Structure 1
Amino acid sequence: MTMHRTAQVNVDAMIEDLRALVETESPSRDVDALTASAKVVATVIESRLGGQALLVDSEAGPHVHWSGGGDPKVLILGHHDTVFPLGTLERRPFTVRDGHVTGPGVFDMLGGLVQAVHGLATLEDRSGVEILITADEEVGSHSSRSLIEERALACGAVLVFEGAADGGALKTGRKGCGTFRVSVTGRASHAGLEPAAGVNALIEAAHQVLDIAALGRPEIGTTVTPTVASAGTLDNVVPAGATVVVDVRVESADEKERIESAFAALAPHLEGARIAVEGSVGRPPMPESAAAELFGVAQRLLPGLEGKAVGGGSDGNFTAALGVPTLDGLGAVGGGAHADHEYLVIDAMPERAHLVAGLVTAIQHR
């Protein structure tokens, strides 16, 4: 099996479509911005593939769904929300220079969307292909998860266009990930006149941070990282409240259960303090077995292609947990996700577009 190259892609056209997407800023949770972004995504899909791209309303903003008709066989999965606030584009405009494209969202993951669409455009037969571009992946996919799972089960194979791993490798495994919020309630008092009359929520939170950090087992891939904390109101008041936010990554379902049970069992150290915990490991682990079949096809299409298991999560975690064959990291080759130096490598765009065409063709005929 070799890469399908009878129809070529136009790199200039890919860059212009990418410009249109990047220059319509799409921060998560900004429904107005995401509505404008979804319309641009739909326009790009329709202009390159024909048919109609439907906007699926949700409380997070519109998701975009397109079908090539026929019996569903493969789901092209991505998202159009980004982590960058409105105004980032003014500070960091879309730029093409020295073989790279830079700008907010070019790598995570607008470049991947463009490559997928242009790759599909090289195929005469797009039957059985669906595209789903969601509006809330960066904030947990709460409004899109049921739709993602529904279409993944209907199609039976999922190609995820998140950015590639280091060196252009595909992502063949992902950790499960989640966020916990630990709220501490104490009792306020005057810090100078009667500090002992209070229950210091900040001190209790410090105890909790140490307990929480001790839950990590990095030797088996479990990381538990307190990331954000807040406490208190004024410098002369014993704080009555505090919160700690924690990022969790796990490689197995057993560790997911252990961590969730441990957070549920957190207990206060100070008399009179109260603890409340919200959150879970919302994205289950994506085992490498879920990618094995499709990764084998990709390697036959593109000899020398590597695969890597990574710590970050994606919507592919959901589809893999259903037992649906899922291959991730098919998007842009580049780096700097969520950072100011985010970039995409232009020379890799045609090869990645042809890779999706080859994978889709193989899935259509398996």
Structure 2
Amino acid sequence: MTASPAAPLITRAQEVAPEIVDDIVRLVHHETGSYDLAALAGGLDLLRELAVHRLGRPDREHRHPGGAYGDTLTLTYTGTAAGHVALVGHYDTVWPTGTLAGWEAPEPGADGREKLSGPGIFDMKAGLIQGIWALKLARESGAPTPTVTFLFNGDEEIGSLSSRPVIEEVARTVDATLVLEPSAEGAVKTGRKGSGIFQITAVGVEAHAGLAPQDGASAITALAEFVIAAAAVAAPERGTTVNTGLIQGGSATNVVAGRATATVDIRISSPDEQARVDAEFDAIRVSDPRVRIEIDHAWNRPPMTLGTASAPLLALAREAARELGLGALRDAAVGGASDANFVAALGLPVLCGMGAVGHGAHAQGEFIHPDTVPTQTALVAGLLGRLAEPLGGAAS
């Protein structure tokens, strides 16, 4: 196990903090909504440019086409020691193109602490830039460094539908994966809920709404009934939530709707709850038997817990935090899912929440605290130093 000198890392991170923040702002100002392929392509080009500017050209790189989704880019920088670490993060955001123009920054808190705000800054563009700078600082420290593979994907917010195979392939080839998602108020994330994205389709019978409404069977009315019943399947006390986030249907105001769809986000904490949700959704009935309900049970991410593979990685992160003078590094379980869920499901070492400190993911006014940028960057750099040798060797 090799540790980077702590004091120089913190000092250097503080010295270059304005440059790190400038890179963050530049990336945030290029909008990258998950459904805007042109914006995503440009955003990934910019992210690569920033990495090359700070780290030089990678020894290996590959751009994996995303098809209907944003591409996934892998950049590998060969280290000076035997370890190999993946730094993973997504560059897509939930915010559609044009959001930045009307963005309202939040007021400083009661303590007067500065907030830096923008669409996607917290989730998770600050983390991406901090990861790039972490490797730069680790290299500059003079300590041995592992080989680092950056993986930047452009479809995480919609389920990592094209990038999941790439993430899993990379995770299998490295000793440890660090996911640069935002922290939980400074805590790393070792537990995450599993997630499902169900598509509900109601197929009814069209008819003229004025001349013969009795001949129709409204898909919209039936879908509304289903959505209300589905909400009752939630069991927060068991860690299960159900949210219908999108609805569309019908063809005209004077036509009884023949078709309607809803997209439902489901979060679970255990496989038992997954089975229960499946059974209870299938058991829902609507009042008009002429309407057919079709359910696509699309479970996206399995639940993530702190397994035996990841526990030594958490221990190393805590050692790095103590050396940096950051005190006891906390860990937390959260309701959101991330690409770390995929890695944990493979039984491989992974830590999530290695990125920004702030608040408001997916909310207007999301922000980071810029005064935490140096410490978060140094923490990742320090952990990279401790992973200069393979994790198995470090833990033995």
1:91 aligned onto 2:102: yes
2:76 is the alignment partner of 1:67: yes
2:348 to 324, 338, 346: 324
Q: Is the 8 A contact 2:201 2:295 kept in 1?
A: yes
Q: 2: distance between equivalents of 1:114 and 1:227?
A: 30
Counterpart of 1:32 in structure 2 is: 38
1:251-284 deviation digits (Å, cap 9, x = unpaired): 1123223323444555554222111122412011
> Percent of aligned positions with the same letter in both sequences?
38
Alignment of 1:5 onto 2:7? yes
1:112 equivalent in structure 2? 127
Alignment of 1:171-210 (within 5 A): 171-210=189-228
User: Aligned partners of 1:311 and 1:3: how far apart in 2?
Assistant: 35
Secondary structure of the structure 1 residue equivalent to 2:6: coil
* 1:351 Cα deviation from its structure 2 partner: 0.7
TM-score (norm 1): 0.91
Provide closer, same or farther for how the CA distance between residues 104 and 3 of structure 1 changes in structure 2, counting only shifts above 3 A: farther
In 1, Cα distance between equivalents of 2:83 and 2:276:
37
Q: Distance in 2 between matches of 1:29 and 1:115?
A: 25
Greater mean alpha carbon deviation, residues 200-209 or residues 215-224: 200-209
Question: Which residue in 1 is equivalent to 2:302?
Answer: 284
Whether contact under 8 Å (1:96, 1:102) holds in the other structure is no
Equivalent residues of 2:146, 2:384 under 8 A apart: no
Retained in 2: the 8 A contact 1:288–1:309? no
Q: Distance in 1 between matches of 2:220 and 2:93?
A: 33
- 1:164 aligned to 2:183? yes
Q: CA deviation at 1:126?
A: 3.5
Amino acid at match of 1:15: V
CA gap of 1:300–1:149, structure 2 versus 1, over 3 A, is same
Alpha-carbon distance change, 306 to 3 in structure 1, aligned in 2, over 3 angstroms = farther
* Mapped partners of 1:210, 1:104: distance in 2: 31
1:55 matched residue in structure 2: 63
Q: 1:176 to 1:348 in 2, by over 3 A?
A: same
**Superposition pairs of residues 235-254 of structure 1, within 5 angstroms:** 235-254=253-272
Q: Structure 1 residue 221 and structure 2 residue 243: aligned?
A: no
Superposed displacement of residue 219, structure 1? 1.6
Measured after TM superposition, the shift of residue 25 of structure 1 is 1.6
* Amino acid paired to 2:330: E
Q: Partner residue of 1:155? A: 174
Maintained 8 Å contact 1:4/1:357: no
Change in 2 beyond 3 A, CA 1:347/1:3: farther
Alignment partner for residue 26 of structure 2, among 20, 29, 32? 20
Deviation at 1:196, TM superposition (A): 2.4
Indicate conservation of the 8 Å contact 2:4/2:386, yes or no.
no
**Higher deviation after alignment, 145-154 or 22-31:** 22-31
Q: Is the 8 A contact 2:105 2:365 kept in 1?
A: no
Number of equivalenced pairs: 365
- Matched with 1:351 is 375
Kindly provide the CA deviation profile for residues 336-358 of structure 1, in whole angstroms up to 9, marking residues without a partner as x: 11222111111111111111112
Shift of residue 127 of structure 1? 3.3
The alpha-carbon distance between structure 1 residues 3 and 286, as it changes in their structure 2 partners (threshold 3 A), is farther
Instruction: Give the drift of 1:241.
Output: 2.1
Are 1:231 and 1:242, in contact at CA under 8 Å, matched by a contact in 2? yes
**Structure 1 stretch displaced more, 245-254 or 45-54:** 45-54
Q: Which runs of 5+ in 1 are unaligned?
A: none
Asked if residue 337 in structure 1 is aligned to residue 337 in structure 2, the reply is no
**Quick one: which amino acid aligns to residue 312 of structure 1?**
G
- Quote the offset at 1:156 in angstroms: 3.0
SS in 1 for 2:245: strand
Letter in 1 for 2:292: R
**Residue deviations 1:21-79, cap 9 Å, x none?**
11222111222211111111111111222232543332123322111226662110101
Quick check: 55-64 or 140-149, which moved more? 55-64
Residues 3 and 301 in structure 1, CA contact (< 8 A), matched pair in contact too: no
- 1:271-303 superposed Cα distances (whole Å, 9 cap, x missing partner): 221111224120111113364332222222223
- CA deviations 1:185-228 (Å, max 9, x no partner) are 11122334433222222332233123322322222111122333
Q: Per the alignment, in what secondary structure is the counterpart of residue 348 of structure 1?
A: helix
Cα offsets for 1:62-109 (capped at 9, x unmatched): 322111226662110101111212222222389998632211211111
SS of the aligned residue for 1:33 comes to helix
Contact map agreement 1:221 1:250 (CA 8 A) in 2: yes
Q: SS state of the match for residue 168, structure 1?
A: coil
Q: Find the residue that maps to 1:196 and give its secondary structure.
A: helix
User: Cα offset for 1:146?
Assistant: 0.3
Shift in CA distance, 241/114, structure 1 to aligned 2, threshold 3 Å: same
